Structure 1
Amino acid sequence: MTSDPNFNPIARPYRWLEYLTLGRALERCRLHFLPALLNRKKALVMGDGDGRFLAALLASNPHIHVDAVDISATMLQLLSKRCEVNAARLKTHHTSALTFAPIGPYDLVVTHFFLDCLTQSDLETLIARITPALAPDALWLVSDFRIPQGPMHLPAHIVVRSLYLAFRIITGLRTVRLPDHATPLTQTGLTRIAHHYSLAGLLTTELWQCKPRPIALAPP
């Protein structure tokens, strides 16, 4: 990206702005597949904002260790405070996800309402950078906005465009349209194994899983 957005100004009021605009729909979306993550051991969580999901993940899974990556120092401060009871299992990284050096193997990646901040080329770069650090059975949990077909197509388009405009004004975010995460995830060997739509299809949360990698056998 030519310049990084600044999410610091929106960090502290973000929770209440979210509740004001969409109620707890995004929160329910983030937590929908939490019960499926209880056997994960090492996670990479990118762009979790103020840490509400991460606090729930650490509380529900006492064995998991997490690398949390965020470009916003203020977001990471809020996240760390919210997760301080489990601080021993959390390592924060104040950097762009596009330059973060993965230190896997990770059996879980979480990107809740984060991939929509990336351009298509940046998203593809990110996926190519992260997937080599995944364990063979790794899960990738994605939550995002979507524009469904049918009667909700136009209302969803207006909502998404309005959100992009607001974030551009407040944070300097340059992205203007939802990228396609399904194609590059599929091309790198992941398969969508579950999904859940909410708000008439405006929101999606999805579980993707790596295919087991073949075992390299020594030549006879």
Structure 2
Amino acid sequence: MKKDRFDGIAFIYDALAYLVFGKSITSIQSIHFDKISKGKRILFIGGGTGKLLPEIDKKLQPSEIVYIEMSPKMMELSKQQTVTNPITYITDSYEVAKNYGQFDLIITNFFLDVLKEKALKEFILSTPSLLHQKGLWLVSDFRIDQKHPLKYIHKVLHLSMVTFFKVTANLQNTVLYNYVSLISERNFTQKASSFTYKKMIFSVLFQKK
């Protein structure tokens, strides 16, 4: 099996996420949309089944969405979502994003946790070049709280997730890094942050300095 391939679980992915996390994993992804002005050119990386696309389309009314998803099966499902504004679908690695110019907003929801440390740091370093001045980066993902008992609960749940995805998708990365700190160190400031599901899931809106 190829690395980090989610084709085999594409058609049950959303149901699995809801079974474990309920509505919290969906609602957190758009919680900061009210802080983003309409008409932005948006880069959406790793959108999965595209479940968030209709909400982006309706609430943000983008001038264009460039949608990058590696999994052909996930992309197939994404294209079934209703989108009225201009959208370009790209079934390829996130690394091709540099070929599509600069953006006003980048969305990476539950994408960074797939990257191993070297790739993660390289991506974070490259992100400012993908954004216009004062551009925004919306990041939603998992975290491990450093306080007990949440730390123990988060680690057990994360281990269960990693074990499942290693078997079904050949997931390579097994570590949750401190994404907020890593991004904050690299030419970004936090505009807003929220947490849900016992603080294991976060969403932070960053702005390029």
* TM-score in same-fold range (> 0.5): yes
CA distance in 2, matches of 1:99, 1:62: 24
In structure 1, what residue type is equivalent to 2:189?
A: T
Q: Deviations over 1:61-92 (max 9, x none)?
A: 33431111111011111111113x42x51101
Pairing of 1:191-206 with structure 2 (within 5 A):
191-206=189-204
Task: Verify the 8 A CA contact 2:5 2:169 in the aligned structure 1.
Answer: yes
* TM-score of the pair, normalised by structure 1: 0.88
Deviation of residue 107 (structure 1)?
Answer: 0.8
Give 5+ residue unaligned stretches, structure 1: 212-220
Q: Deviations over 1:77-136 (max 9, x none)?
A: 1111113x42x5110111111344342321100011110111111111112233212111
Q: Please name the residue that 1:49 is paired with.
A: 48
CA distance in 2, matches of 1:64, 1:137: 17
Work out the number of aligned pairs and report it.
207
In structure 1, what residue type is equivalent to 2:123?
A: L
CA distance in 2, matches of 1:77, 1:129: 28
Q: Please name the residue that 1:218 is paired with.
A: none
Q: Please give the secondary structure, in 1, of the residue aligned with 2:134.
A: strand
Q: Please give the secondary structure, in 2, of the residue aligned with 1:142.
A: strand
Displaced runs of 4 or more, over 6 A: none
* More divergent stretch after superposition (129-138 vs 31-40): 31-40
Q: Please name the residue that 2:184 is paired with.
A: 186
Q: Please name the residue that 1:68 is paired with.
A: 67
RMSD (CA atoms): 1.6
Matched residues, percent identical?
Answer: 24
CA distance in 2, matches of 1:127, 1:102: 17
Pairing of 1:1-220 with structure 2 (within 5 A):
4-83=3-82, 85-86=83-84, 89-148=86-145, 149-211=147-209
In structure 1, what residue type is equivalent to 2:206?
A: W
Against the structure 1 CA distance between its residues 102 and 138, is the aligned structure 2 distance closer, same or farther, given a 3 Å change threshold? farther
Higher RCO, Cα 8 Å, sep 6+: 2
Task: Choose 1 or 2 for highest CA Rg.
Answer: 1
CA distance in 2, matches of 1:50, 1:100: 19
Task: Verify the 8 A CA contact 1:50 1:78 in the aligned structure 2.
Answer: yes
Q: Please give the secondary structure, in 2, of the residue aligned with 1:162.
A: helix
In structure 2, what residue type is equivalent to 1:145?
A: F
